[in-house]
Structures are given as C-alpha cells and as structure tokens.
Chain A
Amino acid sequence: MNDLTTVVDWSRWQFALTAIYHWLFVPLTLGLSVLVAIMESLYLKTKSEKWLMATKFWMRLFGINFAIGVATGIILEFEFGTNWSNYSWFVGDIFGAPLAIEGILAFFMESTFVAVMFFGWNKVSPRFHLASTWLTAIGASISALWILVANAWMQYPVGMEFDPAQMRNVMDNFWDLFSGIAVNKFFHAVFSGWALAGVFVIGVSCWFLWKKRNQDFALLSIKSAAWFGLAGLLLTMYTGDGSAVEVTKHQPMKLAAMEGLYHGTEGQGFTAFAILNPDKDWNNDEDEYIFEIAIPRMLSILGRHDANAFIPGVTDIIEGRDIINGDTVNTVSYAERIERGKMAQAALRNYDIALEKGDSVAMNVAKADLQKNFQYFGYGYFDDVKEAIPPIGVTFWTFRIMCYLGGYFLLFFVVILILVYRTRLMERATWIQWIAMASVPLMWVCSEAGWAVAEVGRQPWTVQDLLPTKAAISEIPASSVIVTFWLFALVFTVLLVAEVSIMCRQISKESKKNLSSNKA
C-alpha cells in the first residue's frame, strides 16, 4: 500500500468530520428531549396551557434537529467498517457488542416513540403521549450510554484478552467495559447536552424578548432552561473532574498534551493561559511556553486529588520516569515499548507459523513470548518514539477553550437566573438578551472542543496502546477516501445550512403566534 499515510490521514479526517457534524445535533437532542419531557409532565400535572404551548414549541425544534442527528449517526457506525476495517476485525469482538446492544435497546425505543411524540397528540391518550416523550428522551440517553461505553473502551481497553490463533482480541469480561472512564464519559456527555439545551432555549427565548413577542412564554422557558442548564453544567463539571482523574491514571500522555507539559514536577501547576513554544520538542531544551500564567499545584489537585502528587510530562513519559511518594520510579520507556512491541509481533508471527505446522511446542514458546510483551503490542508499529505523541497544540487549546467557556457558562446561568426572577429587568435589559443570543454558538464550540480533547488527545491510537490508527484502516485507495471526504463535507454542510435556516424560520414564524394559549 503505497499511499498508507494518505489513507490514514484522510480516513481520520473523514471520521473527524462525521463525528464533529454528528455532535452538532446530538447534545441538543439529549438535552432538549429531557427538557421537553419535563415541560409536558408539568402540563399534565397542572393542565396549564402555557406548559402545553411550551412543550409543543420546543418539540417542533427538537424534531428539526433530531432528523439530521439520525442522518449523521448512521455514517459513524458504518465508517468503522468502510474506513477502519482492520479495527473492526482486531477489536470487533469487544467493540461491536455495545453497538448492537445500543441498536436493540435504544434505537428502537427512540424511533418508535418519537413517532408517537410527533404524530400522537390526537391519536393516543395524554398519559401515553407523555410516556412516549419520556421514552424518547430515555432512549436517546441509553443510546449515548452504549456509544460512550464503546468510546471509553477505545481510551482504556479492558475486559479482553488476545487470542493468537485468531490474531484478534476477544472479550472476557463484559462488565469491565463500564470502567471509570466510561461512567464519567457518559454522564459528562449527557449532562453537557443538558447545559447546551439550556443555553439554546435561553438564547432563542431572549430573541423573543428582544422582539417583544410572547414575553410570558419566553420568561417561562428561560426559567426552566436556566435551572435545567445550570444543573447540567454543574454535573458536567463534577464528571469532568472525574474524567481528569481517569485520564491522569490511564492516559498520562493525553494529560501531558492537554497541558503542553514536557517536564512534570511534584505539586504541578495548572496552566491557566500560555503561549506554546512551537520549537519545543520532547528531546530538546527549549522552554515549553513562550508565556505562561499558572495556578500553583492545581494540576496535581485536579489530576490526582493530591496537591503534592507528581504529574509526568511528555518527556518524562517517553523516558519512563515517574515519581511515586517522593521516590523516582523508572517505568518502561517508549523506546523499550517499541522494542517489546516488535518482539510481541515477532512472537505472534512465530505462533502463526507453528500453528500452521501443528508444532505445539513452538506454539507454547511463541505464546509465552507474546504474553510477556503483549502489553506493548501496538508500539511495535512505530519506528520512532515521536510517533506516539499526540498533537500538542490542538489538544492544549481545545482543552482551554472548553474550560474557559465552561466557566463562562457557569456565570451565564447564574446571571440569567438572577435576572429572570426580576421580570422587568430581564425584559428591558437588551444587553443580556444579546449576550444570551451570542452565547448559543459558543456553547457548541465548547461542546465540540471537549470532544476534540478526548479524541485528538488519544492520537495516534485508535485503541490506546493497542492499535495505532495506521494499523486500523481499510485497504482502499487514497483517492476513494478523498472523494468521500469531500462528498460528506458537501452533503453535511448543505444539510446543516438548511437545518439552521429552517430552525430560524420556524422560530420566527412561531414567535408571531400567541404561545400563551392554545386557543389563539
């Protein structure tokens, strides 16, 4: 395969493109579905028309967003086969199961009850309709659970063993898949969807206030969304802290990349702001930052919940240096990992030859060699330690963008909650209405940045320490992947433009109706 590198790079771009587009729609689905279900519950409890109108209005926007999320979702599943064929074989025994279970348990629930949600107002009883709305929301979250369990497994592969006869990994413990990374990742993603939906509803409602249309409806929506969004954001932050601890434990290289940290210390500070030195490499003496503002000891606190803990940098990890309880401990350097990875691969080759010949003695010898070094199997695909470093700049900046915006939105929700209970102030303060409207796209930037940290920080691995991207691909011509990348980019963009346009027109159209009473 002459164009291996090109195929790898374009396959990565294609998957990234699909995932980025998909994540534009999914968090809104996750959050808005729950918010709508809460509103409909309040309607059924109070029989108040205002809740019915609010439910129907936000449900219509949910519907527009839902369809395009479904469209982009199918691509992701099938791209594992079309573009990551080797991955599908090498770890499909483990990775495929959550996807299949997601389909059986979640997709059918979502797709069945969403039809009742949209079309069932006059066809089923109010209670059945409410149950359908909740089941749609629950189905969306269950779907997220399984896909995030699968994703977390790529970050921290557990619950499996390597079968040399089949040359692939096979699952040996299903429950191990629900690792700390998986649990934190699931709640982090779902709650971030709540926060995003909160900002979206507030932004749209503020447009109503600015236009002085349906102000009662807008204030009601803002109150609901602000509490909902604030709860979501606080829980996102809490689970984000859990994620940081897990990353520190299981993906130290990713954490080092998130910080642009090359040489760690005990009581490591957190870089609040910095300009990275582009000339810095893992093995030169250049400074890490051109300029830095750090919060002392904060990274140790965040990563290990211990102000004095050692956090290794890129160079420390590559050279195999760690400090535990004040003592310097030598771990396995990356150079040794590469060497042992190649030994594992050679042992596997010998095992395969012995298996063909039926030589059980040679098979046992090869298997023992393989097991001794299998932990570093994936490193055997590298020729240079540098290949194992994730893109530092992207990981560093996307992490900061996520944190800065996360902090901003905490303040945002608090301010909105203070103002919304002073009704006249909220109605008159056009500055906050404009800020709220401008904050809507920022929330998407924040959400996408979070995913970029998770996925770019995992590079160059498809499955951490086990399978690098360059060994996970399909054997297809680079030209095919380039063509499909641009086709996807074109189609997704065309559909996104249409979706945004429809959403804006729908909001504008609805704003002219009386949204306080169904009788209008």
Chain B
Amino acid sequence: MTLEFFQAYWWLIVAVLGGILVFLLFVQGGQSMLLDAGSDKRRDLIVNSMGSKWELTFTTLVVFGGAMFASFPLFYSTSFGGAYWLWICILFSFIVQAVSYEFRRKKGNIYGTGTYDAFLFINGCVGCILLGVAVSMFFFGGSFTVSRGSLLDGTAPVVSHWDNPSHGFEAIFNWKNLILGIAVLFLARMQACLYMMNNIVDDPDFFVRLKVKALLNGGIFVLFFLWFLAMLLTADGYTVISDGFRTTEVEVTPFKYFHNFVDIWQTAVMLLLGVVLVLYGWGRSVFTKKYTKGIWYTGIGTFLVVVALFCVAGFNDTPFYPSITDPSSSLTISNASSSEFTLRTMSYVSILVPFVVAYIAYVWYSMDKKKLSPESLEKSEHKY
C-alpha cells in the first residue's frame, strides 16, 4: 500500500468522523431549543434527553480534531493558527457546554440554572453555525500562504501565514460560509426534534409540538442546504497537481465540484441517497401520526451527505483547503498529510474503529431501551 492509499484512507476516516459529528450535532440542535421550550419541565426533558449523548458529540469533535492533527498536520497548523478567532469561538462555546449539563440544577451552582441553560443555548446555536462555517471553508477557502522556508526566518519563523488581519472573523462573516452554517443549525434542530420524538414518551402535547418544530426547522434546512448545494455545484475550484509533498501546478477548473461528483460517481450516489433518506425521515415523521423512527433515516442520510461532501472536497486533485490569496499554497491530501509511516501506523489502530462503533451502538441501544418520560425523569437519581 502506497502513501497515496493512506492519504485517501485517512481523508475517508476524517470524512466518516465528520459525518458522525454532523449527525450527533442533534444534541446542539436540542440545546438551541431551550429558550422556547414552553415550560421548565419541558426544558428539563430536553436537557436530559440530550444529556446522555452530549459527551459523544463532544468526543467526536475532539477525535475529529485529533485525526486532522495526526493525518493532515499542515491543515491543523494553517487553519487553527490562522483562522484563530473562528476556532477560539468554537472552543469557547464547547467549554461552557461541557459543564452546563452537570452544573445547571446543582445546588450551589452560583449563577443559576438560567445561566447554564443560556450557555447550552449559545453552544447549540454558535457551535452549529461555526462548525458549518469551518466546513464551508473546505470549499470556499481561506486567505493564507504556506511557506516552508519561513521556518528558517529568525524574526518570523512561522510556516503558515494568514493573510487577512481579522484572523478568522472574516470567515465567520462571509455569507457563503454562513449559508452552510445556518443549514447545519437547522438540520441539527430538525434532528433534535426527531430524536426527542423517539426518545421521550408519555407527553403527547410535547410530541405534537416537536412535530411542528421539525416541520419548520426541516423546511428552513432544506432551503439553505439547496442554496449551498447550488453554490457548490456552480463554483469554480482549483485542480492541484502535486509531486509528493510539493505542489507543481494549480489551475482553476469551472464547476469543479460538479465535475467531482460526476468523476467520482459514488459520491453522487451517496449524496442523492443521503438527501432522499433525510427527506424520507423528515417527511414521514412530520406527516404521519405516530412515527418515531425518523431520526435513523435522517441520521444515516446526513452521514452519507457529509461523507460525500468531504470526498468531493478532498479527492480528484482537489484542495480540501483552498487558498484565496495564493492558490499554490492550497492544501491537498497530498501536500498536507503526515508521512507514510505515521499514516500506516495509525491505520493499524483504526482497525479498532468498528469495535468502538459496535460498543457505542450497544450502549446506545441499552440506554435508550427505556425511554425518557416526565415520570421517569422525576424518579431518576442522576438527572441534569
């Protein structure tokens, strides 16, 4: 197996982690509904329904970051050190999330339940939008230059330079990035509704309320996602030819991502299948009376769509992190990756991933067998 194989393999793992992460963002979606929950009891139901899963989302984000660091360190160095404020804002939103579940109803929490619920709300909204912005930059790029020779510059020995002085704020307020950010937020909210319809029982009014919310949020998501998809399919992109870790040629290709879907037909199939599954899960949940399993269809659909998007972002000589200011600095899975030895070593560890997925699935099944109800929450020894 060659270096190229391992680069592709690790980009696929990153794509899979990205897909799982976007699915699990339903936790953030649920949090974004806390301020209009209707009553304190409903708010507690939402928090406790999401509460047994929040660490899984959090962990997936951390592992996504770790996998990026290990397999594509030049991305880590360029994006995190460059779009500083984008990542710092994401981090802050997740710091306040991590404590809020455990602290919100504990006596002595000083700042009151409302403060921690506000933290959860902030994480729910800001986390989703900014992660969407960060992923959107995989297509619409950032302003950076990579110069390995700078390592030897005694006065500024930094390889990756961010060319925009806003250091990430410009990416946050770029409308193209925000389109995907908003789409991710409403997808997460829609999936949160579907998850709670599946996870919470014995509260028919809440079920109806969730259904209405799923309809609205799903509708907004579809609009923004189609807008993003239209932009993506009509966008120009770079084609980068690399010789090992060095870029030798860059050219602008009209309709680059459309061509990628055509050239790698499997991604087009995944995208279409994913979209169909999301629409089916959403539609059936919203338009039938008692259907509760929509989350699994939308979840699998979301996963497939995200994996397809990552694939067209990184394969077919496409830079997964295009530079607006210096196209030759654009990062590809060839020029930004770790060495063959490292990728191969980590690949051995990745064999354990199915085992990890299996025990997560088993625990999920065991824990969700008994559904959450207002009554069971009342009796629960450990509740958020």
Contact = CB atoms under 8 A, between A and B. Distances in A.
Interface of A: 1, 4, 56, 60, 63-64, 66-68, 70-75, 77-78, 80-86, 88-90, 92-97, 99-105, 107-116, 118-124, 128, 132, 163, 165-168, 170-172, 174, 345, 348-349, 352, 381, 470-471, 473-477, 480, 484, 487, 491, 494-495, 497-499, 501-506, 509
Contacts of A506: 106-108
Interface stretch (B76-84, B192-200, B286-294): B76-84
Given A123-B367, A166-B148, A81 B95 contact: no
Given A77-B62, A81-B76, A108-B356, A63 B92 contact: no
A112 B363 contact: yes
21 contacts: A1-B158, A74-B62, A74-B98, A85-B76, A88-B69, A88-B76, A92-B74, A93-B342, A96-B69, A104-B350, A109-B359, A111-B56, A112-B56, A120-B367, A167-B149, A348-B152, A471-B157, A474-B80, A491-B95, A502-B107, A504-B108
Contacts of A85: 76-78, 80-82, 158-160
B35 interface: no
A94 B342 CA distance: 7
A104 B81 contact: no
B162 to A, nearest CB: 7
Given A82-B81, A506-B107, A167 B367 contact: no
A115 B363 contact: yes
B103 interface: yes
Shortest beta-carbon contacts, A-B, top 8: A85-B81, A81-B80, A92-B73, A505-B108, A474-B81, A96-B70, A103-B63, A71-B98
B154 A96 contact: no
A96 B382 contact: no
Interface string B351-384: 0110010011001001101100000000011100
Nearest to B366: A124
B359 A112 contact: yes
B91 A74 contact: yes
Contact of A86 (B158, B244, B246): B158
B370 A123 contact: yes
A82 B88 contact: yes
A475 B149 CA distance: 15
B101 interface: yes
Given A77-B62, A108-B360, A484 B77 contact: no
Contact of A480 (B85, B94, B244, B246): B85
A67 B98 contact: yes
Interface string B215-232: 000000000000000000
Contacts of A484: 88
A115 B55 contact: yes
Interface string B137-156: 00000000000110110111
Contacts of A502: 103, 106-109
Contact of B106 (A88, A100, A480, A505): A505
Given A82-B81, A352-B149, 7 more contacts: A77-B65, A80-B80, A89-B160, A99-B66, A124-B367, A165-B245, A172-B341
Query: How would you classify the secondary structure of chain A's contact residues: helix, strand, loop or mixed?
Result: helix
A86 B151 contact: yes
Question: Which of the listed residues B70, B107, B353, B367 has the most CB atoms from chain A within 10 Å of its own CB?
Answer: B70
A183 B312 CA distance: 42
B84 A474 contact: yes
Contacts of B342: 93-94, 96-97, 170-171
B151 A116 contact: no
A476 B81 contact: yes
A517 B148 CA distance: 66
Question: Which of the listed residues B53, B91, B245, B246 has the most CB atoms from chain A within 10 Å of its own CB?
Answer: B91
Given A93-B73, A96-B76, A111-B58, A475 B81 contact: yes
Contacts of A124: 366-367
Contacts of A118: 382
B360 A93 contact: no
Nearest to B86: A82
Contacts of A470: 157
A78 B58 CA distance: 13
Interface in B237-281: 244-246
A170 B159 CA distance: 16
A1 B159 CA distance: 13
Query: Size class of B's contact patch?
Result: 35 or more
B187 to A, nearest CB: 23
Query: How would you classify the secondary structure of chain B's contact residues: helix, strand, loop or mixed?
Result: helix
Contacts of B2: none
A74 B94 contact: yes
B62 A491 contact: no
B158 A475 contact: yes
B99 to A, nearest CB: 5
Contact of A108 (B63, B165, B345): B63
Given A74-B98, A101-B349, A113-B363, A107 B63 contact: yes
Nearest to A91: B73
B1 interface: no
Contact of B77 (A86, A128, A505): A86
B328 interface: no
Contact of A170 (B74, B80, B99, B339): B339
B12 to A, nearest CB: 15
Contacts of A105: 349, 352, 356
B167 interface: yes
Question: Which of the listed residues B99, B160, B246 has the most CB atoms from chain A within 10 Å of its own CB?
Answer: B99
B56 A104 contact: no
B107 A96 contact: no
A94 B339 CA distance: 9
B99 A78 contact: no
A94 B152 CA distance: 21
Interface in B155-190: 155-162, 165, 167
Given A74-B62, A115-B55, A93 B159 contact: no
Nearest to A135: B359
A75 B370 CA distance: 35
Contact of A88 (B77, B341, B349): B77
A480 to B, nearest CB: 6
B338 interface: yes
A100 B159 contact: no
A60 to B, nearest CB: 8
A92 B107 contact: no
A349 B59 contact: no
Contacts of B165: 477
B66 A96 contact: yes
Contacts of A64: 102-103, 106
Nearest to B380: A119
Contacts of B106: 64, 502, 505-506
B156 A476 contact: no
A103 B167 contact: no
A56 to B, nearest CB: 8
A167 B153 CA distance: 13
B96 interface: yes
Nearest to B148: A167
Nearest to A86: B158
Contact of A123 (B56, B71, B161, B366): B366
Interface in B15-73: 52-53, 55-56, 58-59, 61-63, 65-67, 69-71, 73
Interface string B300-317: 000000000000000000
B341 A81 contact: no
Question: Which of the listed residues B81, B341, B342, B359 has the most CB atoms from chain A within 10 Å of its own CB?
Answer: B81
B363 A104 contact: no
A67 B76 contact: no
Nearest to A73: B62
A155 to B, nearest CB: 20
A381 B158 contact: no
